[in-house]
Structure 1
Amino acid sequence: MVPVDVRLARKSDIPALARILGRAFQDDPVMAWVQPDAERRKAALPGLFGALTRHHFLAGRGSEVSLSDDGVAAVALWDPPGGWLQSPREQLAMLPGVVRAFRGRLAAGRALTDLMKAQHPEEPHWYLSIIGSDPQVRGRGFAHALMQSRLDRCDAEYAPAYLESSNPDNVPYYERFGFEVTGEIVLPAGGPSLWPMWRAPR
């Protein structure tokens, strides 16, 4: 595999990473449940990911990007141990992006976040909230490099890691990095499931 450059995300990366995550999650089962309107989802997701990054993830200094010759190719938004809960100030700052993304479906968005919070582990850990690569470069190792970068740090710090897979197809991918499924979060009204996954340090 060709070596991939990985570095911390910067404020100047936000427009590019927001576009990439918007494309990466356009067909995600959970995102499609929260916002069934495909055109509205396509238009709103970049703004949502941009707001989350700008007002929450950058401050934790756990978010990284991997780079191709054309710029940002993949993004991983991590929260450090003890830092996964958003503050009231962060929530207020992100609200316009959330409202635009989930217009008409705010109750579904709240149900999703409440269920995720209820099952979130209490033990300190690195939390992989969001990871995605540009569909045009998928399979070329950009997301793999991001996973390995942060998990190497987890092992060096002897810190566990946690994520929720919103797509069943991705569970085996995370298992290859040492994550194990610990349960199932079932969304209401016939919605899809998320799979909480935990990784002990090595």
Structure 2
Amino acid sequence: MQARPANRADVSALSATLGRAFFEDPVMAWMLPDADVRRRRLHKLFEAMTRHHHLSRGGVEVVLDDDGGIGAAALWDPPGQWRHTSAEELRALPAMLLTFGRSVRRGMVADDAMKAAHPEEPHWYLAVIGSDPSVRGKGLGNALMRSRLDRCDAEHAPAYLESSNPDNIPYYQRFGFEVTGEIRLPGGPALWPMWRAAR
């Protein structure tokens, strides 16, 4: 089981996989509280993020499931490239409005809180990782983590992520990430910034 770089032809399928992966995520449920709306729209968020930011930076990877579909995906940004440019944000705006509708303010609040807590030291940033619920526990996420963390280690680069689900913290700790604080969303759940020192 190996991760491979994603290409433009993968964007739709990997976005659908991430939409299913994050359906029950506490932060996503706070931003899109209506389950039917979340089921119909969440993939559009990941499609916009991938298409208008992450893919061009070369950090998007996927792992295929037993049927040859995309079972898991990770969106990484290389050191110094985690910030979205104004042009990227403008191109992604229609999809963000379509995804969040009247909840768009919550999405902006979460984004601003994450930006304020983001470390300045150059690092690989794991913005999103998820696997389809039908293949969880089969090692697809592990393959994605190992692929990029092996590169981090080869480059002696640190890595950073925010865990939006407290249940996932021990999983990330197994890869060497440590909790460095808490990002509390006003009237909503928390995220936990996690840092993995260079090796």
TM-score, with structure 1 as normaliser: 0.96
Whether 1:102 aligns to 2:100 is yes
1:1-202, aligned counterparts within 5 Å? 4-70=1-67, 71-189=69-187, 191-202=188-199
Write the distance in 2 (CA, Å) between the matches of 1:184 and 1:69.
Answer: 37
Deviations 1:160-184 (A, max 9, x none): 0000000000000000000000000
Following TM superposition, by how much is the alpha carbon of 1:105 offset from its aligned partner in structure 2, in angstroms?
1.1
Q: CA deviation at 1:101?
A: 1.6
Residue type at the aligned position of 1:179: F
Per-residue deviation, 1:63: 1.0
CA distance in 2 between counterparts of 1:106 and 1:72 reads: 28
Cα distance, 1:21 vs structure 2: 0.3
Offset of residue 51 of structure 1: 1.2
User: Identity percentage over the alignment?
Assistant: 62
| Distance across 1 between alignment mates of 2:61 and 2:104 | 29
State the distance in 1 between where 2:27 and 2:11 align. Answer: 23
Letter in 1 for 2:20: R
C-alpha distance in 2 between matches for 1:106 and 1:54? 19
RMSD, aligned α-carbons: 0.8
Gaps of 5+ in 2: none
- Cα distance in 1 for partners of 2:134, 2:198 equals 32
How many Å separate the matches in 1 of 2:106 and 2:59? Answer: 28
Q: Deviations over 1:52-89 (max 9, x none)?
A: 11111110001100122322110000000011000111
Counterpart CA distance in 1 for 2:2 and 2:66 is 10
CA distance in 2, matches of 1:15, 1:150: 22
- Alignment deviations for residues 109-157 of structure 1 (CA, whole Å, 9 cap, x no partner): 1110111000000000000000000110010000100000000000000
SS across alignment from 2:102: coil
Matched AA of 2:162: E
Partner Cα separation in structure 2 for residue 35 and residue 188 of structure 1: 15
Number of residue equivalences: 198
TM-score normalised by the chain length of structure 2:
0.98
Give me the whole-angstrom Cα distance separating, in 2, the residues matched to 1:105 and 1:129. 21
- CA distance in 1 between counterparts of 2:144 and 2:2 reads 9
Rounded to whole Å, the distance in 2 between the matches of 1:49 and 1:197 is 21
